Every structure is written in C-alpha cells, then in structure tokens.
Structure 1
Amino acid sequence: MSTRPIEITSALPPLVTARRTYLMCPPTLYDVDYVINPWMSGNVHLSSRERAIEQWNHLYRELTAIADVELIQPQSGSPDMVFTANAGLERNGTVVLSGFFHPERQAEEHHFRSWFQSSGYNVLEVPREIPFEGEGDALFSSEGTRLWAAHGPRSVMASHTHLVRAWGVEVIALHLVDPRFYHLDTCFAPLEDGFVMYYPQAFDAPSLVKIEAFYPSEKRIVVSEADAVRFACNAINIDRTILVNDISRELVAELQTKGFEVIQITLSEFLKAGGAAKCLVMRLGPQIER
C-alpha cells in the first residue's frame, strides 16, 4: 500500500477492550550515539548494551503476559529505533507516521513506514516541515474521546490539524516548557477509569487549566519532581496494571490506593537516552493478518 497525504476519514469510534497489541524493537543495536535531549548529555557510549538487553527482556516478559507484542527489527545507524513510541500514532488501522525533528532520527522513518505498510496499515504523513513525533507527543484519553497532543521541543502545533483530519477526533494542545520532558509521554499518562498521572511543572499555565478542567481532582495523580525524573509518567497502563521504571514507595502506594497494580522494571540504561517503559512500546490496533 502506498503512502498518501492525510485526508479526513470517519470519526473515531470508542476504543475496544480486546487484548492489546504493542510494537517493540529489540535493543541489539541500541546505544547513546549523539545528544538530542538533556538526558543524553554526558552519556554518549556509556550505556551497557548487555544490561539494556536484560532490562528490555524483563519489560518484554511482563508485557507479553498481559498483551500481544509485534517486533520490528533494529537497523544499523538508527540506535533509537528501540523507542517505538516515536514511530507514529495508530488508531483503527491508520498510522500517522512520525516526521522526526532531529536529523539523527530521520532515517528511522523509512524503516517504520515499510513495516507499517507491509503489515497492512493505512500510512499517512505530515509534511516534512511540520515535525511530529508520534505517540511520544500524542496520547488518547483512556476512553478515546480526545487526543492530548503536545507542542514544544519536538512536535509543533501545526501537526495537530493533521491528527484531526486523520481520525476526526478532538485534539487538545498542551505546551511543554521543561526541556527534560521533551515528549508528552515523559510527563503525562492518561490512565484507566479516567485517572491521569502527570508532572505539572512540565506544562505552561494554560495547559494545566485544560488538564484540570477535564480530570477532576480525585482523578489526578500529581507526580513529584523526584519521580518525574525517574520517568514515572512514562508508564504502560493496561486495565489495572501499570508497568513502569523504578519509582518511589509513596507513588506506588498512591497508585495502589487508586486500584492499580504496579510492576516496577529497572530501565536505567534507557534513561540515559531519555526513555523508559512507555517510550519502548507503541500501541497498535488488533493484530493484522499478513
């Protein structure tokens, strides 16, 4: 199937409750080869690939116990392919492919495009001059009624028009203001049953108003800076299970009081590149016959 420009499709129906599917990429070629975010600074070639593989395998085992996983193979020259959340955003068989802000990651676009096309997805693209970094900067609310989309270090607000056209969904813009939290999924996590986990200082004041207008106070889980820099918000949430990097006992306890089971997985090698659990997966629709 050939890639074509984005055009309006039918409105987004409610999300289904079938067993979820995620895309992952083994870290066999993973390294910190360059600096394109603050976390990479001082960590070039200091990540242990052996430990990274062990940590990734731990996440893979925990995830496959409760979800299906599709794999894309890593490619030479693209060490950040392991962070598949940045490949694009998918709903109902349509993928809006990422157009990376930094040239260091733009080679990934071809590999992800080929995988999505060969897997039967309808692949749409934003213009090259409009950076958009997929699920890293665009997250659906748990019930699927709106799409939270960031603009700031890596994605621009002009990309939001293309997201509206792709699915006919309401898009709510959030402005990221802390360079440490350069993607939305590093500081904001919509959770099941209408909860949200977020780090307020990552957003400007108008964005916080939008978040707090949508989520009532009893549904907000505010993350401290200490947990935010552990990428606590970079969590995978499936039903009442949360897979996340090591976080504080206090935050674990709060999540448990909200009815969530927390599975902590040490992902220190990936933090050196600015990613954790959520960065390592991209949510897909039901598995496609090939």
Structure 2
Amino acid sequence: MECDRAARRDRILMCAPDNFGVEYVINPWMENQIGEARRSLAWEQWMNLRRLLSLTADLTFITPVTGLPDMVFTANAGLVIEDTVVVSRFRTEERRPEEEIFRDWFDRQRFTIAPWPADVAFEGAGDALVDCERRLIWCGHGWRSSARAAELLERIFAREAIRLRLVDPRFYHLDTCFCPLAGGWLMYYPPAFDAHSREVIAAMTPERKRIEVSETDAMSFACNSVDVDGRLYMNDASDELQSQLRDAGFAPVLTPLSEFLKAGGSAKCLTLKLTDK
C-alpha cells in the first residue's frame, strides 16, 4: 500500500505542556538541565507547532497529569496502526505511571489494545516507525526498547519489523536519528547505529533515497520531524539539509523547540499519529 496522505488528513495526538519540565535525568540531554526548562517559552513553542500542524492535520488532545513532565511526548504513548494500538511499557520508572493513563485514553477512543508482555520494554512510536510505503515497521532497540519488540509487533500487525540497534546514548530512541518519509525516502544519522544496522538500512533503501544528516543536524534533532502531507515540521536544519529535502520533494518547516530538546525531545516526540496504515 502506498502512502497516500492526500486521501485523508492525518490525525495526531498531542498533550499540552502544562506540567513539562526537566525534573530527573533519564537520557543524556537531561543532564545539567533539571529546572532549566522555561515553561512559558515551552508553551509558546508548543503552541507554534500545534498551530502549524493544524493547517494540514486534525489534532486531538489528552489531558496532562500533574507529576508527569514527559507526558507531553505523546510519541511514547504507544504504536498505532489503523485501529490497533500497542501501549508502551516504559523501561524507566519515572515514565511508567503514563502507561495506564494512555491505555485509558486509547480505550475511550475505541482502539483495539493489543496484549503485550509486562517484561518486554517498548516505548511506542519513539522506537517503532511505520514505513507505509513498504508496509513495514522500523524498530529501534539498545537503550529503551527490547530487541524482542520487533517479533511481537510482527505478530500483532502482520507486517515485517526491521531491527536496528542504537549505539549512541544521545540518540536513545529511533525517532531521534531516523525518519522514514513518503516515496521510500529515508533521513537518518548513520553513526547512531551499529555496523550491521547500517548495512540493513543500505540494503533496503537505494542510495539515491537515503538522506544522511550531519552530526550538527542530528544534534538539532532534524530527524525528529513530523511528516504531514509532504511538509516536514522540524526544530532546525542546515541550509544543506533543507536543500536536500526540497530536492526530494519535501517542504521543511522550521519551528524552534529548544526547551523540549533539554528533555531529549522535539517535533516528532511531541506527536503521535493515529492514522498510520
């Protein structure tokens, strides 16, 4: 099945940053950032992203809960394909209270909630990215999600799941360094992966459709982009990367998200697509 974003608008789940802040350290981006996130600026940046996305997508919202500063990163709520969801099993204790909240929300929205073993860590669309062009799921593991997640997702969704091992702790979720795009294109940061994973990516994606980002762009979370109807909403990107994306037929839309980078997240982390096929 080809990606056909023109057929219907994407539906995207977001959570307002009422309680956002850096209150603990569970990834390298949070180091030395406790109490440093400016909530007023975070609100302004989140609202800008919300406004831009609303031009091309239908947005829906989950109510933020006090004491859960990372709940704003709805990409980690789970993985949704059509009407089925796998709710996340967080590896870190700090985020585990989010599981039941997201589970209740999906249940109220009448999604089919797939069973998932309690002992298999899985952090949703942070580590499982749908490639609707090829009807497969790219699965990151090594820091947050278990390598076993891929085989379980294959059984649930009846489509191939490709394991990619992450080796750089700065890129602890797959969506921080890897972005499958429409038309079989792929934007990624190769050093974030082990040698075998790089070989798999190269074998599955023609060189002409692989956009390899620099370390500078990777550190700006350029790969943590939201692809909606040919537009790529992203925190930042070099002129060179923007030119490459335009040449590939995409329209980069820069929307600064500096406060969320302090917690290790950006545009993609702040959204969960509910319309992936």
Q: TM-score, normalised by structure 1?
A: 0.92
Whether 2:80 is the aligned partner of 1:90: answer yes
Instruction: Note if contact 2:78-2:123 (Cα within 8 Å) is conserved in structure 1.
Output: yes
User: Counterparts of 1:232 and 1:258 in 2: how far apart (Å)?
Assistant: 16
Q: Would you identify which runs of 4 or more consecutive aligned residues in structure 1 move more than 4 Å?
A: 13-16
Whole-angstrom distance in 2 between the partners of 1:245 and 1:69:
19
One-letter identity of the residue aligned with 1:122: T
1:74 to 60, 64, 88: 64
Q: Deviations over 1:230-255 (max 9, x none)?
A: 00000011232110002211111111
| Higher alpha-carbon deviation: 137-146 or 168-177 | 137-146
2:129 is matched with 139
1:111 to 73, 76, 101: 101
Report which stretch shifted further, 109-118 or 161-170. 161-170
Question: Equivalent residue for 2:175?
Answer: 185
> 2:220 — aligned with what?
230
Whole-Å separation in 2 of the counterparts to 1:185 and 1:14: 21
Counterpart CA distance in 2 for 1:76 and 1:144 is 40
The code of the aligned residue for 1:50 comes to S
* Mapped pair 1:201 → 2:191: yes
* Match 1:20 to one of 10, 14, 29: 10
Q: How many residues align?
A: 274
C-alpha displacement at 1:15, in angstroms? 5.6
Gaps of 5+ in 1: 1-12
- The residue that corresponds to 1:5 in the other structure is none
* TM-align CA RMSD: 1.2
Q: Distance in 2 between matches of 1:123 and 1:185?
A: 23
Percentage of pairs with the same residue: 48
In structure 2, the residue matched to 1:38 is 28
Out of 49, 52, 60, the residue aligned to residue 50 of structure 2 is: 60
Structure 1 residues 264 and 228: CA distance shift in structure 2, 3 A: same
- Deviations, residues 117-173 of structure 1 (Å, cap 9, x unaligned): 001001124222110000000011141511110111000111222211211110110
Offset, 1:20: 0.6
Deviation at 1:14, TM superposition (A): 6.1
Find out whether 1:152 has 2:142 as its counterpart.
Answer: yes
Unaligned runs of 5+ in 2: none
Aligned to 1:3: none
Task: Identify the residue that residue 124 of structure 1 maps to in structure 2.
Answer: 114
CA distance in 1, matches of 2:80, 2:218: 26
2:200 is equivalent to residue 221 of structure 1:
no
Take 2:146 and 2:90, find their aligned partners in 1: how far apart are those partners?
Answer: 11
